[in-house]
Amino acid sequence: MDETSKVSNFIQDIIEEDLRTGKVNKVHTRFPPEPNGYLHIGHAKAICIDFGMAEKYNGLCNLRFDDTNPTKEDIEYVDSIIEDIKWLGFDWEDRLYYASDYYDQFYDYAVTLVKKGLAYVDDLTAEEIREYRGTLTEPGKDSPYRNRSIEENLDLFERMKNGEFDNGERVLRAKIDMASPNMNMRDPVIYRILKAPHHRTGDKWCIYPMYDFAHPLEDAIENITHSLCSLEFEDHRPLYDWFLEKLEIENPPRQFEFARLNLTYTMMSKRKLRNLVENNIVDSWDDPRMPTLSGLRRRGFTPASIRNFCDLIGVSKTYSVVDYAFLEHCIREDLNKKALRVMAILDPLKVIIDNYPEDLTEEMDVENNPEAPETGTRKVPFSRELYIERDDFQENPPKKYFRLKPGAEVRLKNAYIVKCESFVKDDDGNIIEVHCTYDPESRGGSAPDGRKVRGTIQWVSARHAEDAEVRLYDHLFTKENPDDVSEDGDYMENINPDSLIVLKNCKLEPSLKGAKPGEAFQFIRTGYFCVDSKEYKKGNLVFNRTVSLKDTWAKIVKKHS
């Protein structure tokens, strides 16, 4: 796959044709989240399309909250959505709107439909409405209340608004066609009674419009030209158009649908993500294992990597599933150019250089990023006692093992060549200490006599090491499709018990003491890491692994190119 090639964008073609023919003079889109949860990587695709199309054609994009269900919505979600979109780098300027801004207009529109004989108050229960609706193969049947007079409907609807009835006692329905092959057109509910306070309007309203009624009207009120949404709303478009037509909206917005993002090993349902939080499978919406933008940010993903990912997967109308490895590839590509290379020992084993002076400390020059020479070098302290990774020493190594072993030499990165002379075990037979000698003439890693030393390992001075906790993250689910479950099971059975491994006794080079959230580091031979933002606020130094160094996607691409 050539990353420079972009998937054909049919939405772009539509917009260009509309501009060319004069159907529209200025592109105006919107991103309309419902504030009932945190945004996830699937929303990032929609954000990039909505804001990206406006940016490309010098148009406008609104941020509008579809806050029509006060029982599920919260200001916490509003704040998190605003933060996520800003983090991605998009700006709605002064065009921040809410569905609740238009409640009075929605009510007037509903009254207009009643006066036209196109809406009626129904006394059926929610269960009865479902029974009357019919099935995909059988038509529905009319409610016994469908032919109420306009005067009676106006009276009942006003009494609904005034709070005279209980939740679920009555609804307002559009009068369309109970035999329509499109289930959405079978007299859909457009208002219901919800005696619940709203996070913006308080107790002013006890009836709230349904999403399908409010959404096209919001677009119309805001003069949206291209209403872009995912494919699950394709069957709702005839209903949107019906409302706009019957309410005689001039220059109505047009809806276009694209395929939503599906990602392997990832759950995109906000309801199921909420269950993970509420059941303490994860610690919060921003848990680094979550596909939420706040979780990805806390894990160390960058806005550039996510925007590039959304750009490269393209826009189409075809259902597909993207390999999670491609998202990982995008963050590696970004961090490879930005992240400082540092030495961090996650499973420490002490090394003592017996012939090195006990009171001596030297400073070694270490490059910050070989991919970006302009970042220069830094000084790293070196002393007699060091820590190395435990798997960088083996008592009985296999063939072609070029790291530290008894009687063999290895190069300490940017320091000296050392030779293993002996080692110490505890009572359980575990190696707890390795004793070496060093070649004083080999500073910088080159042997003065030209002898070849094939292995190079990282190290941290024990005297100067910074203690830290490191968290290694993996997929939250064990299966590519988390919903691939047994007959009576659910997605919870596919939770990965090893999705988080916490390492408590890590030893880091001292330059990491001042690390802050938002900074990226490559722990040599281990992966890309960042400071955990929540723990940082508590005064704790904790690093999250963003992604390992192994790039399976790049290997797949190379194999097939």
Question: What per-residue confidence (pLDDT) applies to 556?
Answer: 59
Q: Please say whether the beta carbons of 199 and 73 come within 8 A.
A: yes
First to last CA, the chain: 7
Residues 6+ apart with CB under 8 A from 278: none
Active site residue 34: yes
Q: Active-site residue among 148, 161, 270, 341?
A: 270
Active site residue 131: no
Give the start-to-end residue ranges of the domains of the chain: 10-258, 270-340+468-560, 344-458
Q: Active-site residue among 34, 83, 371, 433?
A: 34
**φ, ψ at 541 (rounded to 5°):** -95, 100
Report the C-alpha gap between 368 and 520 in whole angstroms: 12
Report the C-alpha gap between 84 and 307 in whole angstroms: 12
Question: What per-residue confidence (pLDDT) applies to 319?
Answer: 86
Write down the pTM of the prediction: 0.91
Average pLDDT of every residue of the chain: 94
Q: Please say whether the beta carbons of 553 and 338 come within 8 A.
A: no
Give tens-digit pLDDT for 208-256.
999 999 999 999 999 999 999 999 999 999 999 999 999 999 999 999 9
Residue listed under structure tokens 């945004």: 39
Question: What per-residue confidence (pLDDT) applies to 553?
Answer: 62
Q: Active-site residue among 72, 146, 195, 260?
A: 260
The arrangement of secondary structure in 10-258, i.e. its CATH architecture, is 3-Layer(aba) Sandwich (3.40)
Q: Please say whether the beta carbons of 475 and 299 come within 8 A.
A: no
Task: Name the 3-class secondary structure at 227.
Answer: strand
The arrangement of secondary structure in 270-340+468-560, i.e. its CATH architecture, is Beta Barrel (2.40)
Question: What per-residue confidence (pLDDT) applies to 9?
Answer: 85
Residue listed under structure tokens 């949107």: 240
Alpha helices in 395-464 (DSSP H): none
State the maximum Cα–Cα separation within the chain, in Å, rounded to a whole number. Answer: 104
Report the C-alpha gap between 535 and 300 in whole angstroms: 14
Residue (of 413, 428, 419, 418) closest to 509 by Cα position: 413
Residues linked to residue 411 through DSSP beta bridges, in sequence order? 417, 456
Asked if 270-340+468-560 and 344-458 have one fold, the answer is yes
Task: Work out the number of other CB atoms within 10 angstroms of the CB of residue 461.
Answer: 22
Q: Please say whether the beta carbons of 64 and 97 come within 8 A.
A: yes
Residues linked to residue 345 through DSSP beta bridges, in sequence order? 507
Which residues of the chain register pLDDT less than 50? 1-7, 560-561
Task: Name the 3-class secondary structure at 257.
Answer: strand
Question: What per-residue confidence (pLDDT) applies to 559?
Answer: 54
Residues 6+ apart with CB under 8 A from 412: 382, 386, 418, 445, 456, 457, 458, 459
Phi-psi region of 466 (alpha: psi -120 to 50; beta: other; left: phi over 0): beta
Q: Please say whether the beta carbons of 504 and 511 come within 8 A.
A: no
Q: Please say whether the beta carbons of 49 and 313 come within 8 A.
A: no
Homologous superfamily (CATH) for 344-458: Ribosomal Protein L25; Chain P (2.40.240.10)
Task: Tell the burial category of 487 from Cβ atoms under 10 Å away from its Cβ (0-12, 13-18, 19+).
Answer: exposed
Report the C-alpha gap between 160 and 121 in whole angstroms: 9
Q: Please say whether the beta carbons of 455 and 499 come within 8 A.
A: no
Cα angle, residue 74 at apex, residues 73 and 78 outer, rounded to 5°: 105
Task: Name the 3-class secondary structure at 551.
Answer: coil
Give tens-digit pLDDT for 215-228.
999 999 999 999 99
Active site residue 272: no
Q: In this structure, are strands 456-457 and 431-438 parallel, antiparallel, or unpaired?
A: unpaired
